[in-house]
Structure formats: C-alpha cells, structure tokens
Amino acid sequence: MMRMLLSKKKRLLPRLHSIHDHGYIWEMKILTTCLILGLPLPLLAADWPNWQGPNFNGISLEDEWDHEKIGNIIWKSKVGVGFAGVAVSDGKIFTLGHDGRRRGGSETVYCLDAKTGKKIWSDTYKAELLPNLHEGGPAATPTVYKGVVYTLGKDGKFKSYQSTDGKKLWERDVLKDSDMSKPADWGFAGSPLIFEDTIIVEAAHTIAYSLKDGKIVWKSDRFRPAYASPVVFNYKNKDLIITLKTEGLLILEAKTGKKVSLTEWETRFATNATTPIVVGDKIFISTGYGRGCALYTFDGDKLNQVYTNKSLSNHMANCVVIDGHLFGITGNTHGAEKKELVCMEFETGKVKWKQAGFGCGTITAAGDKLIVLSERGEIAVGVASSEKFESLSREQVNRGRCWTVPVLANGILYTRNAEGNLVSVGVGKDF
C-alpha cells in the first residue's frame, strides 16, 4: 500500500533539480508520516498558480481526467484583448486583458470563479495596448502565492492584490524602475517569478521586489529589454536565476542579482521570448526566427555547449520534456517556414518525428499525454511518444488567434484567444 501511494506521488510530483526540490521532499515526509501513523492523507492539489505550472515545467499534475471530454465546454467568458495565460488557485482563476482601444485604453485584472466563470472581482486601470504585428494587450501570466496575486501589465504596471477580494497591497512601475523611457517593441511579457521572499520580473534590468511591500531588493546589470520569463535553479546548493536576455543566456545569483555568466544568443529582431528549461545541470533554449535551439551544461561558472541545431525553433511557446524527449512547436508566427510539432531527444538533439497541422500553436502536458492547442483553437490530445504523434481526441474549442498556452487544473482545461475569449472545458471526473 505504502509503496503504491509513494509511487503515485512521485508520478504527480516529479523531482526537479531546483529549489523546488525542497517542497517535494517536505511533501514526501508528510505523506510518509501520515501512512505510518494512520493519519488522513493530504489532498494533492492540482492548481496552476503561475507561468509553467506548479513544477515550472509546463506539465499539469492532473491524473484523473478524460481526453475524450475535450469538447465538453462548460463556460465562456470575455477577458479582454491579450495573450496572458491563466493562473489557477483555490477555486479561482486570474488573468489580464485590454479593452482594445489604441488610445486612452485600459487593462483589467480579472478574478473569476474557476467552475462557473463568474467574476469575483476585477481592477481596471489605464494602460497602452502596444499592438505590434498582433492584437496587443497583456502577455504576462499572473503569479499567485500565499493568498496574493501578482500581475504585470503590458506597459510595466506591476501590482499586488489579495486574491480573495482584490484589495490592492502595493504597485510598482517597472518601466520607471528599469530606467526605460518607453516599453520595448512588444511590451513587458515575462511572467513574475517567486524566489523566497522576493518576486522577480524581467525588463532592461532583472529586478527583485520584496513580496511584503514591493520595495526593490536588487537590480541586475542593465541589458537590452527582453520578453522571456526567468526561472530559478540550484547548482551545488547555490540558488541561481537563468533568463534569456536579448544579448543571450544570463545567469544571476538569486539572492543578489550579481552576474555569474552571460552566453551569447541573439536572434533577428531582438526577440528572445521563451523560458530556459533546466534539467539537472543541463539547460535547454529554443528561439524563433530560424535561430534554433541549444543544450548547455553548467559547471558553476559558465555554460558549455553540448549541441545546437535549427530543427526546433520555438518562437514564443515553450517545449515540454517527457521521458528524455522534447516536444514543441517549431516555426515563426509570421514566417513562411513550415510550422510543425517536433519530438527531439533532449540529450542529443536528434529529431524523432515532425508533424504539421497546428500552425504556431502551443503545448502543455499531463502525465504521458500531450495537449496541443493549434493556432486556430483546436485541441489535440495524444500520447507523448518518441515514435509518432497520434491524436486520441481532437476538438475545435476556440477560434481566432490562439497563442496562449492551455492550462489544465482541477479537472478543467482553459484556452484563450487574442480577442479575449476564454473557454473552459470540463475534463475531470466531476464534469
């Protein structure tokens, strides 16, 4: 019995080589203690509280969902123009949207009931649309932590709210804090990242703010503005931040913001927008405009390249890693090159297969299944196999331009398009 439950727990919470290991170990201790003492087992929450989900790898913890239900739409809601993902926590979802006006427009932070889509609270404030080859609007996913939600708008308005009622706790102007005269071409897009008692955002500087009062704890050296989200990892008991700046792959000390290393990685149009993927001492990146991808090892001082190729070129959407294989979309949104779903060996960069038909879609996963949202709003679910991608289920659930990553949390699959149509699909046992 104990072995079975521990095995299930390991599947739900795969061990990460990062600071999040500590949470995993603590949860395992709690589980083991309950089993030994005969205490009730704690519920395994399947929230999605931040960009890339609970384990920062783009993979849902859901294990009781039915891929045949992906056409089961339970509610729809309008959340404004934009590409911000949803954060799911404690029965509520959070996202941002813009009213679409090019002049004198405003952004709104939404808190909705996860099961019904009804508005619980919202906050509206003036903000630029910043359309540039697309509809515009906010792109950063909210972060929820200990009853507080943190949001970053398209032009740098950084806000902290009580998640229950929307009471504003503090706010900052990241544009001003990063000594920028105007937002970068595509605005602020990197999602906020929690590290200990700070929250970290990307701008010309990488900036760590105090969770308590929003005061600046540290600022990194200045770089050209970028659009990627940072990630924290641990190397030999030292906490580090890695982020993809316009100049390249930057590693910082997580407690101070001091630069550890910078590895050149530039693209055309100065657009690095994806989050680095960390597995052990290996770091994978993939960017658009034909730049391709690369795998590095980290030795404590610098990155050492293992391989680079152009077989997998993520424009905006990240890959997921399952059983030693990368799964992701290659190709640019406005480019003439072929857009394909790609499976590639993580360690070697060897392509196993490619499949067209999704445009510049996005991808998430749950267990051994890939959930692919096409650029035009079709959901396809298939086994994460290194042999081929074969759809188990395929349904049209949204329309228009869908560049926002789908989220599966607590039995509900959320998709959003650029116009702000948020569609929820009931795939859990309760739907």
Averages of pLDDT over runs of 10 residues in the chain (431 residues) are: 37 37 37 37 69 96 95 98 97 98 96 98 96 92 98 97 98 95 89 98 96 98 91 95 94 98 87 90 90 94 95 89 96 79 97 94 96 97 96 96 97 98 96 93
CA 116, 124, 135: angle at the middle one, nearest 5? 85
pTM for the full predicted model: 0.89
**What pLDDT does residue 45 have?**
58
172 within a domain of the structure (yes/no): yes
DSSP-derived secondary structure letter, 18: S
431 lies in some domain: no
Closest by CA position to 12, among listed 70, 89, 64, 67: 64
- Domain co-membership, 34 together with 59: no
pLDDT in tens, 82-113: 999 999 999 999 999 999 999 999 999 999 99
Whether 260 and 300 map to the same domain: the answer is yes
Whether residue 410 lies inside any domain: the answer is yes
d(CA 18, CA 232): 7
Asked whether residue 161 falls in the same domain as residue 20, the answer is: no
Strands (E) located in 141-246? 143-145, 148-152, 157-162, 168-173, 193-195, 198-202, 206-210, 216-219, 231-235, 238-244
**Do 217 and 357 share a structural domain?**
yes
* pLDDT for the residue 58: 96
CA distances from 223 to 9, 141, 172, 180 (A): 41, 23, 20, 11
Q: Which domain holds residue 30?
A: 1-44
Are 34 and 111 within one domain? no
Whether residue 56 is found in the same domain as residue 20: no
The domain spanning residue 199 has which CATH number? 2.130.10.10
Overall number of domains in the chain: 2
Of 86, 126, 72, the C-alpha closest to 430 is 72
Distance between CA 116 and CA 130 in Å, rounded? 31
Q: Are 24 and 158 in a shared domain?
A: no
Residue 63 lies in a domain: yes
Same domain, residue pair 29 and 53: no
Per-residue pLDDT at 22: 35
Give the CA angle between residues 81, 204, 288 to the nearest 5°: 60
What are the Cα distances from residue 90, in Å, to 23, 49, 60, 384? Answer: 19, 9, 16, 29
| pLDDT mean across residues, the chain | 89
Sign of the torsion angle spanned by Cα atoms 171, 176, 179, 184: positive
